[in-house]
Structure 1
Amino acid sequence: MERKTPLYDLHVSLGGTMVPFGGYLLPVQYPAGIRKEHMAVREGCGLFDVSHMGEFTMRGSDAAGNLNRILTNRYDDLTVGKARYSPMCYEDGGTVDDLIVYRRGEEEFFLIVNADNREKDFNWIREHLSGDADLGDVSEDLALIALQGPKAEEILRRSAGPDSIPAKNYSAVFDARICRNIPCMIGRTGYTGEDGFEICLLKEYAETVFRKFLEDGEEYGILPCGLGARDTLRLEAGMPLYGHELSREISPVEAGLDFAVNWGKPDFMGRTALMKQKNALAEPGKGIRKRVGILAEGRGIFREHCPVLIGEEEIGVTTSGTFLPYRKVSGAMAMVPAECASPGTAVEVLVRGRKIGGTITPLPFVLPARKRK
């Protein structure tokens, strides 16, 4: 049976269409519809309930060392108050999950993991801990709200003082105060491709803060946004979704996430397998896949799990696909052989028996507002 986030009743009162996702009942959209919600985030601001995500703490003198060994990115050099994204891999290079890690102190970290993977991730990390490191799951006590879009900071300033607003991307204020005196963590992070913030707080304060953002953002055209817009936004931004562009069968190297693999570390789980894949990318024909973007030529909507063709040969498969509201065209991400991944390559996508023409295109499909000007 699906659980409810602390904001469930508010979503219903706002007209949210509730669906099961990640073990929770969440809004897929509100009366304005997915495209309007999407454009609100691209041009103004949108508000998301992401309380289904999992939150872990890790404390101890060996916490940083354990994260270095278990995750592909590096954490012993992460400054207190900063955050860093990382995949987490099996020894064969397949992906356990991808997550964000914040450093709260010299011996304390805060992890945000995908909802579907919460139990798996917790067990995986715990089984591979060594030395002085204690892992805790605090998900049930917390709510997570995402305020996203080019107007997000202006709206946040109406309820949070300047000392509570992180100045740089992938940074956080852990002792922030919002709505006068509600304690929270505010991170300058998100999953939309726009500037924005994720506010983590005790669940009993969630509705007060959500309502305040809607009130403060009214003049900016803020809209509550559901899972539908969250998916179209991350797809336009070229962001992978676990179970689609990352999985047990898709590695970070294949997904194009080399920036989050620290090759300078002497060892981490999956390093040997990932290095082999990295080296093979330089040699076409080695059977290594790459994640690519595909934009449709003409009419037709791409979908996930559709064959990608060059001529009559099936070369790959789409991992996500839909209409991209900002680009006003259908787009997809796909896994194809590295030798077929060059931008400009003409392909066809077979959707329900119909071929739709497309072109392999660099990701992201849409840059954030600050870079579109």
Structure 2
Amino acid sequence: MKELKKTSLFEAHKRYGAKMIDFSGWVLPLQYEGITAEHEAVRNFAGLFDVSHMGEVEVKGNEAFDFVQNLITNDASILEDHQVIYTLMCYPYGGVVDDLLVYKFTNKHFYLVINASNVEKDFNWMKQNLGNYDVELTNISDNVSEMAIQGPNAEKILQKLTDTDLSTIKFFYCKKDVKVAGANCLISRTGYTGEDGFEIYLSHEDAETVWDKLLKVGKEFGLKPAGLGARDTLRFEATLPLYGNELSENITPLEAGLGFFVKLDKQNFIGKEALLKQKEEGLKRKIVGFEMIDRGIPRHGYDVIADGRNIGFVTTGYSAITVKKNIGLAMVDIEYAKLGTPIEIKVRKKNLKAKVISKKFYTKNYKK
């Protein structure tokens, strides 16, 4: 059995009493105090996440912009220096390789943040599509620690440890060489919770010190360490997709409801023809929100039934903590995607009543 990888914060997690699990080959905290307490801390105060398992790839060279523009579905030409965009990489047939964040430092220097479970696959995909572009690709994932501080008090807490005026960093922008508790960091105003917050990239050597100092200064502002459990419940309420659930090699961005991040009018990108064709022909299925009417909690993979037949599957389902309802996201045949449509979810061999609702489960609180 392959040994699980540990982040630079492994010892800190043990000190804070984390319950650890295997996630994509990494040993990571599922929870500390409990998923509900950590979820509520992020919604009302702030939470601190170890996301060092995420992958990072640097793209440098004269044609870095052209390479990135061909690789992604979104439009890198709209980016200012030090701006960030959310985007996807697709296969030629339209399925998703991964969703990622693209940081632009200059036209000759980009930084791509990819999912932990896909690092090797993604990097190989990038190399396969290198062609004759004058660029150098470097997988720096093993050299970078990353943490995310999220919640309404995130700026207040982080500001205690830096002289950089954080209010000048706009939503989906980043700043290099920010000193946090003396450590040199790359900071972006991004996150995966539906709340305001920052992601902090730094060296392994500095990670534990910064983690401890943030929790110390953040205590009076309600900051708690938070694990993967709360990370998933938070992103789900904010309808942020998870690769392997709402996105996969068998699900296109259009089916996932992420057409906004697919710029079909830009010159070219891998998968453009297939996605253009899918849009022109019309979707045969799509991801919808739903609410349980009968008592029962929907889970990933459960069958969705209507008119006595299987019409799809649950991608994510929870008893949602903030909105206090049993809700989910599901991929369903297009004729059942209309709001208010009655459906059933097969929970433990029983078909329970549900209905299609808006995917806007929770109003995001981002600082623009």
- Do the structures match in fold with TM over 0.5? yes
Identify the residue that residue 8 of structure 1 maps to in structure 2.
10
**Residue of structure 1 equivalent to 2:173:** 171
**Contact 2:94-2:275 within 8 A present in 1 as well:** yes
Shift of 1:338: 2.0
Q: Residue 299 of structure 1: CA displacement?
A: 2.1
1:284 equivalent in structure 2? none
Counterpart Cα distance in 1 of 2:168 and 2:189: 6
Q: 1:171 to 1:370 in 2, by over 3 A?
A: closer
Q: Distance in 1 between matches of 2:220 and 2:166?
A: 23
**Equivalence for 1:99:** 100
> Matched residues in 2 for 1:10 and 1:235: separation?
27
Q: Hey, what does 2:48 align to over in structure 1?
A: 47
Report which stretch shifted further, 144-153 or 332-341: 332-341
User: What is the distance in 2 between the residues matched to 1:330 and 1:236?
Assistant: 11
Gaps of 5+ in 2: none
Secondary structure of the residue that 1:76 maps to in structure 2?
helix
User: For 1:99 and 1:77, how far apart are their aligned partners in 2?
Assistant: 17
Question: Which AA in structure 1 matches 2:190?
Answer: T
* Structure 1 counterpart of 2:336, from 310, 328, 340: 340
Deviations 1:56-101 (A, max 9, x none): 1000111110111111111133110100111100000011001001
Q: Counterpart amino acid of 1:148?
A: Q
Matched, 1:137 2:139: yes
Match of 2:76, SS state, is coil
Letter of the aligned partner of 1:134 in structure 2?
E
1:362 aligns with 2:358: yes
2:58 pairs with 1:62: no
**Distance verdict in 2 for CA 1:111–1:349, change over 3 Å:** same
AA paired with 2:175?
V
What is the distance in 2 between the residues matched to 1:344 and 1:169?
34
Total equivalences in the alignment: 364
CA contact (8 A) 1:67 1:74 kept: no
Q: Distance in 1 between matches of 2:300 and 2:310?
A: 15
Q: In 2, Cα distance between the equivalents of 1:360 and 1:91? A: 31
Tell me how far apart the structure 1 counterparts of residues 357 and 168 of structure 2 sit (CA, whole Å).
Answer: 33
Distance 1:166 1:56, change over 3 A: farther
What corresponds to 2:317 in structure 1?
321
Match of 2:301 among 283, 305, 310: 305
Task: Verify the 8 A CA contact 2:86 2:261 in the aligned structure 1.
Answer: yes
What is the one-letter code of the residue matched to 1:288? K
1:158 and 2:160 aligned: yes
Moved over 3 A (4+): 162-166
Residue 28 (str. 1) matches residue 6 (str. 2): no
Instruction: Determine the structure 2 residue equivalent to 1:87.
Output: 88
Answer yes or no: is the 8 Å Cα contact 2:50–2:146 preserved in 1: yes
Cα displacement (A) at 1:113: 0.3
Q: Output the aligned Cα RMSD.
A: 1.4
Alpha-carbon contact 1:190-1:198 (below 8 Å) kept: yes
After superposing the two structures, state which structure 1 stretch, 261-270 or 91-100, moved more. 261-270
Conservation of the 8 A alpha-carbon contact between 1:164 and 1:173: no
Query: Which deviates more from structure 2 when the two are superposed, residues 189-198 or residues 212-221?
Result: 212-221
Cα deviation for residue 370 of structure 1 reads: 6.2
Alpha carbons of structure 1 residues 228 and 208: separation in structure 2 relative to 1, 3 Å: same
Bigger mean CA deviation after superposition, 72-81 or 184-193: 72-81
Kindly report which structure 2 residues correspond to 1:190-229, keeping only aligned pairs within 5 A, or say none.
190-229=191-230
Shift of 1:175: 1.8
Q: Contact 1:85 / 1:98 at 8 angstroms: preserved in 2? A: yes
Q: TM-score, normalised by structure 2?
A: 0.96
SS in 2 for 1:217: helix
Name the CA distance, whole Å, in 1 between partners of 2:304 and 2:14.
Answer: 39
- What's the counterpart of residue 255 of structure 1? 256
Paired with 1:190 and 1:103, the residues of 2 have a C-alpha distance of 17
Question: 2:240 corresponds to which letter in structure 1?
Answer: M
Kindly indicate whether the alpha-carbon contact (under 8 Å) linking 1:166 and 1:187 is maintained by their aligned counterparts in 2: no
Provide the rounded CA distance (Å) in 2 between the counterparts of 1:40 and 1:345.
35
- Letter aligned with residue 289 of structure 1: R
Map Cα deviations across residues 246-292 of structure 1 (whole Å, 9 max, x no partner).
101001011011111111212111111101111233xxxxx621111
User: Matched residues, percent identical?
Assistant: 43
CA distance in 2, matches of 1:78, 1:280: 31
| In structure 1, distance between residues paired with 2:269 and 2:251 | 18
**How many Å apart are 1:369 and its aligned residue?**
3.8
8 A contact 1:176–1:185 mirrored in 2: yes
Residues 161/343 of structure 1: CA separation in 2 closer, same or farther (3 Å cut) = farther
Structure 1: gaps (5+ residues) = 282-286
Letter in 2 for 1:155: I
Aligned partners of 2:167 and 2:29: how far apart in 1? 28
